Amino acid sequence: MHVGMGTGFANSLGIDDARFIQEEFKQCLLAAELGFESVWITEHHFSNYSMSPDPLMLLGHLSGRAPQLWLGTQVIVVPWHDPVRVAEQIVLLDHMSGGRALIGFGRGLARMEFEGLRVDQSKARELFDETVGLVMNALETGVIEGGTLAKIPRRELRPRPLRGLKGRAFCAAGSPASMQSAARLGLGRMYINQPMTHAPAPFGGHAAEQDRARDHWLEAWLAAHPNETPPKSFVSNVVFVNESAEKAQLQARTYMANTFRSAVKHYELMGDHFKDIKGYEVYSALRLKPEDMDKVTEANAATAVAGTPLQVLEKLAETKRDLDPQMMCPHLYTGGMPHEEAMANIRLFAKHCLAEVQSWPTTLTIGESLQAAA
């Protein structure tokens, strides 16, 4: 099993931005030192919910400081980017790192980010489908061209791609239509901060819950790629490990509540605007009512993996049985956890859980870095 660490650059404590960024890098470098195999960085804009407007740039910085570390995006929000520039930036990160880039794509959700980046959110699905298709093809062929929306004249990528994205590209998809689109494009599945087992829907929705039994991604994959084995998934959720189960549960209740309330504000999950945005209508069923806020916040905290090292391993083993992933990348910092507490959480997971999870058998599709291959 490939085991990495996810991070969101979420400055929930509201400390000085310069100090916060450096502390976050220290956490990433500690993870590399202790044997985590990758770091995964989000993309968000305009708030302390996640101060990570350019994950590929941040990963480029880490590529030189931790030459053994795989470098993942969770995710590049595709509609916010020009396809040519995304393709070029991924190629450069590969060259800088010897082919260690792992790419997660997403469609985006927050209205304030679409507005600030001057992108029409109602076109997000079209932009996602076209851009991902163009980028995936460009990394295979070294040439980018076409697109109904992008209208790109034929151009060669230089430097040339080291290798294609097949097997190392994933998608965080929240709706059935997005999951189907991701599968048709050849993207694996990412479960990010969702229940890692068959728990209730995170935002208190009911309509979407009724459809959870269908595997929309797998259905679409088998139809689009009948002769290819579906890649195993990527899973990531918040993990709190402590010698005291009570302390770990307290951390989960405290920091997950902070994170959830911040997400409700950032994504406007109490708003009714999703029904008016093409391609996002399904999120109307997940609208959170103010009177349900405390109950749903508590339920969300329960989705964290929290406990003693043995309890954490038992919960992760349950995840392996349920989702059969090839990678587990826990978030070990969230919700305003002080820096030293986050560093302790990383060390405890590394000491008591990391080697065991890495020993679990699976089938990796990400390939080898060029250094390892050499």
Residue range 104-118: mean pLDDT, rounded: 97
DSSP 331: B
The whole-angstrom separation of Cα 307 and Cα 66 is: 30
Residue with tokens 């209208």: 151
The answer as to whether 260 is a domain residue is: no
Q: What is the pLDDT of residue 199?
A: 38
- The average confidence (pLDDT) of the chain is 91
pLDDT range class, residue 210, cuts 50, 70, 90: very low
Q: What is the pLDDT of residue 211?
A: 53
CATH number of the domain enclosing 105: 3.20.20.30
State the pairing for strand pair 234-236/38-41.
unpaired
pLDDT range class, residue 212, cuts 50, 70, 90: low
pLDDT digits (tens, 9 = 90+) for 288-320: 999 999 999 999 888 899 999 999 999 999 999
The answer as to whether 208 is a domain residue is: yes
**Residue type for position 221:** W
pLDDT digits (tens, 9 = 90+) for 243-298: 999 999 999 999 999 999 999 999 999 999 999 999 998 888 888 999 999 999 99
CA dihedral (1, 87, 225, 146) in degrees, to 10, reads 170
Residue range 55-71: mean pLDDT, rounded: 96
Give, to the nearest 10 degrees, the angle between helix 216-224 and helix 176-184. 30
The answer as to whether 345 is a domain residue is: no
The answer as to whether 245 is a domain residue is: no
What is each CA distance from 84 to 43, 134, 173, 179, 242, in whole angstroms? 18, 8, 23, 24, 45
User: Does position 236 have pLDDT exceeding 60, yes or no?
Assistant: yes
pLDDT digits (tens, 9 = 90+) for 69-80: 999 999 999 999
**Helix and strand totals (H; E) in the chain:** 13, 13
The answer as to whether 153 is a domain residue is: yes
Q: What is the pLDDT of residue 213?
A: 64
The answer as to whether 138 is a domain residue is: yes
Residues of the domain holding 62: 2-234+313-329+350-373
- Residue 146 backbone phi and psi in degrees, to 5: 90, -160
Would the pTM count as exceeding 0.85? yes
More confident site: 351 or 173? 351
User: Does position 24 have pLDDT exceeding 50, yes or no?
Assistant: yes
Residue 136: partners with Cβ closer than 8 Å, 6 or more residues away: 164, 165, 166, 169, 185, 186
The answer as to whether 128 is a domain residue is: yes
38 within 8 A of 67, measured Cβ to Cβ: no
pLDDT range class, residue 175, cuts 50, 70, 90: confident
Q: What is the pLDDT of residue 202?
A: 44
User: Does position 205 have pLDDT exceeding 60, yes or no?
Assistant: no
Q: What's the domain count of the chain?
A: 1
pLDDT range class, residue 209, cuts 50, 70, 90: very low
The answer as to whether 284 is a domain residue is: no
